[in-house]
């Protein structure tokens, strides 16, 4: 249905939400099962702790409460949502798509729904896809969820990746509005030449019966690190140039939380003050598609984002994929004060995580 006649011609974020597991796993806990130290992890990555779901939980157990919170923040009826996108590499099942489970649970009965796989860049990709559907007039509201439960795909024999990841999901409602421009510039990219640098090989080439290690995360971290500190400043510069905005005019920069040293390097290279770089990797670790929407919802919840603030988000990761989204914040609504954790499912999980 195309209802361009309403002359709604801009797209903005009208609500955000997030959900994280209650179970906290500290570096010190990992010291007891891996040949690693808190000092190595903190110095090389900035991570102090991460959150893991209960073994019986799946992505939708985080994605659904995150989505509900974003809808409450946006103040819309879920039936107004025309499109649900779930960006993830760790869906509940190979099929059907987790987005369809989310749409059903939240009561977005009429929505089209699909999963989008762009690894750690997935949420930024999802926002751009949703933005295009809204700009074309196809829908008035879209829900984009980004999240992963990588705790289930960790190779506990590989200390170089095992310490890096956590679980979490965030969500945003995107809405078509009149004149209150939210999206200022976007950029997406991918390069399959780097497809072997980060992977979870299981799939049709390596089916579930294949060797157990192929079910887990593989990463050539140092090569990814070098690529990221070159690529991320470039894509941010590109969206800033498109919108004719200087780095110093950004109020918040939300990078994919893969390594604090990458965030510091980008801030130095672009001359962006450190206090404008949003950081939660110390508490959340790398939640892949979850890092950007969780960080966004956290700073909104903390009251750090004012109407008119300029926010730049940049994702990068497996594929290789990358994306930058430059936004102007237009949402004046208060953040819902409800608890984000899905308590009934999470509280029984304490001490049950198996490594």
DSSP codes of every residue in 113-179 = EEEE--GGGHHHHHHHHHHHHHHTTS-SEEEEEEEEEGGGG--TT-HHHHTTB-EEEEEEEEEEESS
How many CB atoms sit inside 10 A of residue 115's CB? 23
Site for ligand UT7 in 225-264 (CB under 6 A): 225, 228, 258-259, 262
CA 282 to chain centre: 16
Burial class (CB in 10 A: 0-12, 13-18, 19+), 104: middle
The residue among 91 and 317 lying less far from ligand UT7, judged by its C-beta, is 317
How many CB atoms sit inside 10 A of residue 132's CB? 13
Q: Note whether 44 binds ligand UT7 by CB under 6 A.
A: yes
CA-CA distance, 173 to 176, in Å (whole number)?
10
Q: Least separation, in Å, of the C-beta of 331 and ligand UT7?
A: 28
Among residues 86, 120, 312, 331, the one annotated as catalytic is: 120
Active-site residue, 340 included:
no
Q: Note whether 266 binds ligand UT7 by CB under 6 A.
A: no
Among residues 27, 256, 259, 340, the one annotated as catalytic is: 256
The residue among 184 and 324 lying less far from ligand UT7, judged by its C-beta, is 324
- Beta bridge partner(s), residue 325: 186, 313
The residue among 36 and 353 lying less far from ligand UT7, judged by its C-beta, is 36
Among 129, 173, 198, 292, binds ligand UT7 (CB under 6 A): 198
Q: Least separation, in Å, of the C-beta of 170 and ligand UT7?
A: 15
Among 14, 27, 98, 286, binds ligand UT7 (CB under 6 A): 286
Binding residue count for ligand UT7, defined by CB under 6 A: 20
Which residues form the interface with ligand UT7 (CB under 6 A)? Answer: 36, 40-41, 44-45, 120, 159-160, 163, 198, 221-222, 224-225, 228, 258-259, 262, 286, 317
């Amino acid at each position: 249905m195309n209802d361009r006649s309403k002359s709604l011609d801009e797209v903005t974020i009208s609500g955000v939400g997030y959900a994280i597991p209650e179970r906290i796993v500290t570096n010190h806990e990992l010291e007891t099962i891996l040949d690693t130290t808190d000092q190595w992890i903190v110095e090389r990555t900035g991570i102090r702790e991460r959150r893991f779901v209960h073994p019986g939980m799946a992505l939708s157990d985080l994605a659904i409460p995150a989505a509900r919170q974003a809808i409450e923040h946006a103040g819309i009826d879920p039936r107004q949502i025309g499109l649900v996108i779930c960006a993830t590499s760790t869906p509940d099942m190979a099929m059907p798509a987790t987005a369809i489970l989310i749409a059903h649970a939240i009561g977005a009965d009429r929505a089209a729904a699909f999963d989008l796989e762009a690894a750690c860049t997935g949420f930024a990709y999802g926002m751009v896809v949703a933005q295009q559907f809204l700009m074309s007039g196809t829908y008035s509201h879209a829900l984009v969820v980004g999240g992963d439960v990588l705790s289930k795909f960790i190779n506990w024999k590989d200390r170089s990746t095992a310490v890096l990841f956590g679980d979490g999901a965030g969500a945003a409602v995107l809405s078509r509005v009149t004149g209150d421009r939210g999206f200022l510039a976007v950029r997406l990219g991918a390069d399959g030449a780097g497809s072997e640098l980060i992977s979870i090989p299981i799939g049709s080439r390596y089916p579930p019966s294949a060797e157990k290690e192929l079910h887990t995360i593989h990463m050539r971290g140092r090569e990814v690190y070098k690529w990221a500190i070159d690529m991320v400043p470039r894509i941010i510069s590109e969206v800033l140039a498109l919108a004719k905005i200087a780095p110093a005019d950004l109020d918040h920069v939300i990078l994919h939380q893969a390594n604090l040293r990458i965030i510091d390097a980008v801030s130095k290279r672009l001359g962006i003050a450190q206090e404008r770089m949003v950081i939660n990797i110390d508490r959340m670790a790398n939640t892949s598609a979850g890092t950007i929407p969780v960080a966004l919802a956290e700073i909104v919840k903390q009251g750090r984002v004012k109407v008119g603030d300029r926010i730049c988000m940049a994702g990068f990761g497996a594929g290789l994929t990358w994306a930058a989204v430059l936004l102007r914040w237009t949402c004046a609504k208060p953040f819902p004060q409800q608890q984000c954790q899905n308590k009934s499912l999470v509280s029984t999980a304490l001490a049950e995580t198996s490594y």
